[in-house]
Amino acid sequence: MTNVIDGDAVAQSLRDDLRDAIETLADADARPGLATVLMSDDAASETYVTRKHEDCREVGIEDFHEDVDANAPTEELVSVVEDLNERPEVHGVLVQTPLPEHVEAERALQAVAPEKDVDGFHFANVGRFVRGTPRFRPCTPHGVQKLLEHAGVEIEGADAVIVGRSNLVGKPLANLFLRRADDGNATVTVCHSRTEDLAAKTHGADIVVTACGVPELVTGDMLSDGVAVIDVGYNRVEVSERRSEDSRTESGQSDNERGYEIVGDVDFESATEKASAITPVPGGVGPMTRAMLLYNAVRAASEQEGVTVDLP
């Protein structure tokens, strides 16, 4: 039997556990605060931000928001971020990406104070992370680790193959898997678009994580029996007849209404025949990414308020 990992349920249980840490903070008269900054007219980005605020309110994190005109210069965005850095009630600052093309995205992201950088994009945090002493684990890779832990998949000692080497997912995940830690100590292979014979790499792996943005690239015949598969991919493709069931996307809209559906980087049907555990798309990694943002906000508050909390 394949364990289809329910990301929504794991995320819910993590949010429930975070409430204890938030209560500990409340006992010390501290309330975690998370601010989002949106510089985009894109409907999907707006929906993602709205969801993050709903998540905050559900667990008792105070939420703040700043809009920046999508045509404004980089300086204006940087100045909004710097103002948030100065506010003690704001413990975490998240700049929603993608940013408009004219914006110097790196400059804006590096403007977030390292101690408030809940996305983990600041060079100081990337450096700490690569050195093996992370302050904030980037949300998606951390969510992948939690999903594996929940499914009872041992990372330590495993042969892990990651498909994708982005700064957002592939590279930080490789670093997490490599850490000298109980939830690390894997032997890691990182694949990318220039990898020759991807199947030769994925075959024989104990854990395969896909984050390449290529719909259904990894098929069952590329996997070994018993593999754990975590599919980070989130790809919009035209609605096909074989999937007639309507489903909600992570941005809350109905796929079929919009004429597209969401698929992962893994061909779920054939991979399920091989996998001992697998995440669906949607409903796998996506909800965990959101939950881990809350985790980082609570961690930021704990650090800045000097209150020790137990994090799940």
CB of 28 to ligand NAP, least distance (A): 32
- Identify which of residues 163 and 309 has a Cβ nearer to ligand NAP in the complex: 163
Q: Closer to ligand NAP by CB, 80 or 176: give it.
A: 176
What letter would DSSP give residue 248?
B
> What does the alpha-carbon distance between residue 158 and residue 77 come to, in Å, rounded to a whole number?
43
When the beta carbons of 77 and 147 are compared against ligand NAP, the nearer one is: 147
| Residue 96 among the catalytic residues | yes
Q: Which of 119, 231, 255, 267 is catalytic?
A: 119
In the bound complex, what is the minimum distance in angstroms from residue 190's beta carbon to ligand NAP?
8
Considering the complex, what minimum distance in angstroms separates the CB of residue 165 from ligand NAP? 4
From the CB of 290, what's the least distance to ligand NAP, in Å?
8
236 with 260: CB under 8 angstroms?
A: yes
Q: Restricting to residues 235-264, which ones interact with ligand NAP according to CB under 6 A?
A: 235
Per CB under 6 A, 141 contacts ligand NAP = no
Kindly name the residue from 6, 55, 96, 255 that is annotated as catalytic.
96
Return the number of the residue (160 or 169) whose C-beta is nearest ligand NAP.
169
Q: Is 198 in the site for ligand NAP (CB under 6 A)?
A: yes
| Region from 91-99, 105-113, 172-180, 285-293 binding ligand NAP, contact rule CB under 6 A | 285-293
Among this protein's residues, is 119 annotated catalytic?
yes
From 68-76, 118-126, 181-189, 210-218, span contacting ligand NAP (CB under 6 A): 210-218
Q: Give the interface with ligand NAP as residue ranges (CB under 6 A).
A: 140, 163-166, 168-170, 191-195, 198, 211-214, 217, 232-235, 285-286, 289
